[in-house]
Chain A
Amino acid sequence: MLKIENLSATVGEGEDAKTILNGLSLAVPTGEVHAIMGPNGAGKSTLSYVLTGREGYAVTGGTATLNGADMLALEPEARAAAGLFLSFQYPVEIPGVPVMTFVRTAMNAQRKARGEAEISAPDFIKKSREIAKVLSLDPEMLKRPVNVGFSGGEKKRLEIYQMMMLEPRFMVLDETDSGLDIDALRTVAEGVNALRAPSRGMLVITHYQRLLDYIKPDKVHVLAKGRIIKTGGPDLAHRLEAEGYDGVLAEAV
């Protein structure tokens, strides 16, 4: 279970420090998929970064645990080894590092951190081939440097490829749907659904109902001004799509 309690965080330093997360509480029980929706600038990506330990954010209060382990106390790589995965809203280009090298290095680093044996080269290649097929990824793409020259949609698909390769215990998907064409959206959603399991949790950040038609959430949260202001079932996403945030936000205050 991912458990966030009263989490507050700022960006910037000293006088410029700006509170972005403001007493945010949220719990995603293992086996469930929750969606987060909310206006631009509400703090959704900030939440994903604070959870995964990106530099530049200061936690000023609250806690975040994954299956009881204090995430905020760990280095980013240790959080990843504990099973936390972020599908980035803006995947980063890594010139000179081929996708396969990158993912294999990551996988073995995580395994090492967990005290497991490295994956053999043939096993890795086999797994990679299978997943590339599910996601309709051109195997040639996996030989290219990470995200360099990839289209917006290709980058998002590559995030899901990495996620399926690494098999994390908890996944945060930050606007994975943006930039995907209609067919790719379905393919990616199938990949994500294939990872749904009683042992895994998922937090899906999106602006659009459409993704949630494919990845059916157990709960939908509305994040605004740095906190969760409303929680409901899948129908809440439909209401937001129809009424916009104004209606729902007005009601919440």
Chain B
Amino acid sequence: MSTALKDMIRNPTVAELELVARYAALKADARRERLFEAFAQTGLPGRRIEGWRWTDFKAALTSLDAPKVATARDPLARDGVATLRFTPSGYAAPKALPAGLKLLAKDDVQAMGGAEDAPLGALAAALSGGRTPATLLVDVSAGVPVHLHMVFEGPGAINAARVVFLLRPGAELHLSESHLGGAALSASLIEFTLNKDARLNRTVYQIGGAGEAQAITALIEQDAGAESVQTVLAFGAKVARIETRLVHRESGSKATLNAAYLAGAGLQADITTHVRHGAPSCITGQVTKGAVLDGGRGVFQGKFHVPRTAGQQTDASMQHKALLLEEGAEVFAKPELEILADDVQCAHGNTSGALDAAQLFYLRQRGIPLVQARALLTEAFIAEALEGAGALEEALRAEASAWLNHAA
């Protein structure tokens, strides 16, 4: 390794040196270099870096040795839905694709706007390539609604993937993603451009082991009248970050960003969102619900940025509610509203606490055992966050319920 490469990250850890080596082994590309440099500015982000105080990848990822755990089952897999599979050793797509969907696997790296703000997104982009496409372009045209499923899983050191969606004017995409872990580091960058009146329904299921790090970064840009509905169910990993950065860039665009996280002992789930109301009369609604057990950690960081002129007539609401199911559970929350426009409607709420003792007793008095009572109440508590998943809501609820009745 050349000194220049080694010096990219200051005081690198073993894992960071491995990332540098991995980068060096990929085909040289000016854009790739730019992306890796954007990552290298921070290195693996950790507690010293703004926005990563509670989600320390640097400390968690000591090496890139593949963890020895079986990959989780995929509850969102459905027959008849085109499925793209990303593993550390390759990429697979079906031959027959639904009407309105075009794939273009590119060898060269695409530029990424705002790479410095999303270091692990930049890393995912910089390390994509080799056995997988450097960039997978997905073109969705109007006509019929398009259904697509993506799976990220499998054993190995690194599972890096980058997918760039273009939703043409009036197109409608129902996308489900299962991030099942298996690699020491799974990093994916998924970008969406929603043209005028395009619709995106995105459902993200994340689960990972206590020896894995996962970073799922999404960048969404919406034109006039576009609408996105995102639903996340996250079970965490040693560290897991599900980050969504969304820009309303033309008026009348609408976004719903909901998430539920359930974190057991030794696991951490981080839901981070950043929404910029870059055009007037846009709507953002956000509901995040979490439940955490002893030894688990939940993180919610939400930011709405509403600029002075561009952001007029913004309608935005942000709710985060967490349940500490046991003593020793940790939840960190940082809701931020940066509102510079004056004609806006903005609401936010942030609470965390234990289950209601009176409710628990009422259920137990009727004969429902403590664990089941807790599960029933918690499932009802998080339900609101899963409502937007449409046909997948039941599958998500079933996973949450199973977890609550067994792990909790």
Contact = CB atoms under 8 A, between A and B. Distances in A.
- Does B associate with A? yes
Interface of A: 52-56, 75-77, 79-81, 85-86, 88, 91-97, 102-103, 105-107, 109-110, 113, 145, 162, 166
Contact of A106 (B368, B379, B384): B368
Interface in B342-391: 357-359, 361-370, 372-373, 376-377, 379-381, 383-384
Interface in B145-170: none
B366 A106 contact: yes
B144 to A, nearest CB: 35
A96 B380 CA distance: 5
Interface of B: 357-359, 361-370, 372-373, 376-377, 379-381, 383-384
Contacts of B358: 92
Given A75-B370, A92-B358, A105-B372, A80 B380 contact: no
Nearest to A114: B367
A145 B359 CA distance: 13
B380 A95 contact: yes
Given A92-B359, A94-B359, A94-B362, A105 B368 contact: yes
Contacts of A77: 364-365, 367-370, 373
Contact of A96 (B370, B373, B383): B383
Give the 9 A-B CB pairs with smallest separation, nearest first. A96-B380, A80-B367, A106-B366, A110-B367, A76-B364, A92-B362, A77-B364, A109-B367, A77-B369
B372 to A, nearest CB: 6
A52 B367 CA distance: 11
A81 B367 contact: yes
A97 B367 contact: no
Contacts of A85: 365-366
Contacts of A80: 364-367
A86 to B, nearest CB: 6
Contacts of A86: 365
A79 B366 CA distance: 9
B371 to A, nearest CB: 10
A95 B370 CA distance: 18
Contacts of A53: 364-365
A102 B381 CA distance: 15
B388 to A, nearest CB: 16
Given A53-B365, A105-B368, 6 more contacts: A77-B373, A81-B367, A94-B363, A103-B366, A106-B363, A109-B368
Nearest to B376: A97
A109 B372 contact: yes
Contacts of B377: 94, 97
A105 B370 contact: no
A95 B376 CA distance: 11
A55 B239 CA distance: 36
10 contacts: A77-B369, A80-B365, A80-B367, A94-B363, A95-B380, A96-B383, A97-B376, A97-B380, A102-B376, A106-B363
B377 to A, nearest CB: 7
Nearest to A165: B366
Nearest to A91: B362
Contacts of A102: 363, 366, 376
Contacts of B376: 97, 102, 105
Nearest to A105: B368
A94 B364 contact: no
Contacts of A56: 357
A86 B368 CA distance: 14
Contacts of B381: 96
A199 to B, nearest CB: 18
A107 B363 CA distance: 11
Given A94-B377, A94-B380, A109-B372, A55 B367 contact: no
Contacts of A113: 367, 369
A209 B170 CA distance: 70
A222 to B, nearest CB: 26
A97 B377 CA distance: 8
A232 to B, nearest CB: 30
A2 to B, nearest CB: 16
Contacts of A105: 368, 372, 376
Contact of B366 (A93, A145, A166): A166
Contacts of B383: 96
B183 to A, nearest CB: 36
B205 to A, nearest CB: 21
